[in-house]
Structure 1
Amino acid sequence: MNKKLTQRFVELESQLNDIEATKRSVNGAYGTTEAIDTELFTGWKVKVKNLLVTACGEESQHFVAFEAGEKRRTMESDYSIKKRLGAM
């Protein structure tokens, strides 16, 4: 992998840590849940998808798994999705 792509992966990992730092507890109708900055998270997902397409291709297992992982499940918070995607 070339240096530019490697550096971009490092930058996105750092941005994921920045998103984690926005985590807060929110009380809702169904109890307390963890929330993160939605705008930062959305931007991060777009950047990751672009990088995965560039580095691996749209048909790659990495891209396909990332797209599947970002699908919201019933009553799931962005924080839960972030944890799942960050593990990929």
Structure 2
Amino acid sequence: MSLGAIDFGLIIDGAVVMVENIVHHLGERQHALGRRLTVSERTEEVLKSAKKVANPMFFGVLIITIVYVPILALQGIEGKCSSPWRSLSC
């Protein structure tokens, strides 16, 4: 798997986690109130649930980025084979 595919998967994974958490919290709040949420209630709930997962997602992305640093620092033929900026065959 290329580094580009892994990076794309990482971005999508973060977006999926964020959206799932928001939808979950909106559903819980709507069920608890027994009615549809107003626009301001929806906005408040979206911000609250997004803030709840923002820190863990940031640190997860940071850890994975730190793991990639040694791979991106490779030189020579190893660097050419694993470089996300070049499409050279090894």
TM-score in terms of structure 1 length:
0.35
Structure 2 length normalisation: TM-score? 0.35
Q: Which has the larger radius of gyration?
A: 2
Between the two structures, name the one with larger relative contact order (CA 8 Å, sep ≥ 6). Answer: 2
